[in-house]
Structure 1
Amino acid sequence: MSVKGHGPLEKLTLVNLDRSGQVVAQYNPKEFQLDKAASWSPTASRGDQPELTFQGSNPRTLQLELFFDTYETGEDVHERYVGPLQELALVMPPNPATGRSDEADKRPPRVAVIWGGAGPGGPAGGHRLPRFIGVVESVATKYTMFLPDGTAVRATCAIKLLEADRASFRVGAPR
């Protein structure tokens, strides 16, 4: 499907950058929210306006909702879409190439959010969504339709990601 004067419809994709795999949206989100904040700390003062001390910059956050519907096929929506999406928030299993789990791997994978354009290394102008590489902080799933046997066939997933590039990525607590 394409819109007159535009190319084919691009699907939002979450790409696992640390291991192979990706989750492709069945339906694109109707909106997404990209936030950037800084931390400030008020100090005690005698006046109405306390002085503020800059504490640092927080990572950007990206929030979006994805809708999945497998009613027509009768397929379990959790197995087909929700499970693979939730795996992006789980600690990675041992590396299949080595069979070992390195200390750096004891964390969820980094994820690139791609929607249109040439991918995570492509030109910024090629993306509909601003370039975003981070980690999945949360996936909240609401199941809204079931077959008579209890199989879930519709779900909406609210996803929150924190920006984290390779240079700022660390395992464990800050030192």
Structure 2
Amino acid sequence: MTLEKLTIHHEKDQQNNFVLLEPGAYFNPNQLVYSKSVTWAPSYTTGASKYRPGFEMLYQSSAPETLTLELFFDTYARGGAGGDLLGLLPSFGAGPGAESVVKATDAVASLAKQDIELHRPPVCRLSWGAFTLFQGVLQQASRTYLLFLDDGTPVRATMSCTFVEHPGRPLVSDEQHSPDVAKKHVVRPGDTLMGIAAALYGDRSAWRHIAEANRIDDPRRISPGQTLTIPRIR
């Protein structure tokens, strides 16, 4: 039975057109670290007693999930193919055809660069066999070169990568989405007009519709507890 390899597919030239990253990971990571955080803020109340605290915690927002993993690259003993399974066995001479690992690490690092057609970095899908590990954008990547040939060619490296969740909808929508009917929204601590527009319309730039409907001249001046009319976008 052949050992499945972790693969990375990324958008290329157009949205949702995913292609395989080549060269990809040489060895599977030994761990996957998923992280998720939620922001809460205290809301202070009156009439506190030993049976009733002077505050309650109000939900603010959820940060996107992240996936952190370390990729390993080793061409020192590969001889163009194969090599030691984990890259951990001692090597006493470069295999025939040993080449730089820079091409492979550059390919991964390029996922954080802007695609000239998309005008943004690509969304990536990380899979291991039939299992989709994560869909997101590369937020951070650091390279460590561990072994060099006599001429300075790096032949062994690790890359620590952090991907941030992307839910699968366009980063920039061509269509403005709106509620079927006008709604009311009570402002919570930490709310902004742009954030409310992103949550209810799927478009941060639609905050102007909310400002106009509520006669708000300064979009920064909204207060917790304030009731806003959320108009339908026609």
TM-score by length of 2: 0.56
Contact kept in structure 1, 2:12 and 2:122, CA below 8 Å: yes
> Whole-Å Cα distance in 2 between the matches of residues 31 and 49 of structure 1?
43
Contact kept in structure 1, 2:7 and 2:20, CA below 8 Å: no
Give the aligned partner of residue 5 of structure 2. Answer: 11
Give the aligned partner of residue 190 of structure 2. Answer: none
Contact kept in structure 2, 1:74 and 1:147, CA below 8 Å: no
Give the aligned partner of residue 31 of structure 1. Answer: 31
Give the aligned partner of residue 64 of structure 1. Answer: 69
Give the aligned partner of residue 21 of structure 2. Answer: 22
> Whole-Å Cα distance in 1 between the matches of residues 163 and 54 of structure 2?
34
Task: Identify unmatched segments of 5+ residues in structure 1.
Answer: 3-7, 94-100, 118-126
- How far is the alpha carbon of 1:84 from its aligned partner? 0.6
The one-letter code matched in structure 2 to 1:12 is L
Distance 1:57 1:170, change over 3 A: farther
Distance 1:147 1:49, change over 3 A: farther
Task: Identify unmatched segments of 5+ residues in structure 2.
Answer: 14-18, 78-96, 174-193, 195-203, 206-234
- How far is the alpha carbon of 1:57 from its aligned partner? 1.6
CA offsets 1:17-67 (integer angstroms, 9 cap, x no match) = 344341431100001011222222234579888532211121111110011
Which stretch shifts more, 11-20 or 143-152? 11-20
Give the aligned partner of residue 123 of structure 1. Answer: none
> Whole-Å Cα distance in 2 between the matches of residues 116 and 21 of structure 1?
13
Which stretch shifts more, 152-161 or 36-45? 36-45
Distance 1:50 1:150, change over 3 A: farther
SS in 2 for 1:88: helix
- How far is the alpha carbon of 1:85 from its aligned partner? 0.5
Distance 1:40 1:74, change over 3 A: same
> Whole-Å Cα distance in 1 between the matches of residues 54 and 98 of structure 2?
60
Give the aligned partner of residue 160 of structure 1. Answer: 162
4+ runs of 1 displaced by more than 6 Å?
45-49
**Alignment coverage as a number of residue pairs:** 146
Distance 1:71 1:15, change over 3 A: same
Contact kept in structure 1, 2:64 and 2:165, CA below 8 Å: yes
Distance 1:148 1:163, change over 3 A: same
Root mean square deviation of aligned Cα? 2.4
Q: Share of identical aligned residues, percent? A: 33
Q: How does 1:1-175 map to 2 (within 5 A)?
A: 2=1, 8-19=2-13, 20-23=19-22, 24-43=24-43, 50-72=55-77, 73-79=97-103, 81-93=104-116, 101=117, 105-117=118-130, 127=131, 130=133, 132-167=134-169, 169-170=171-172, 174-175=204-205
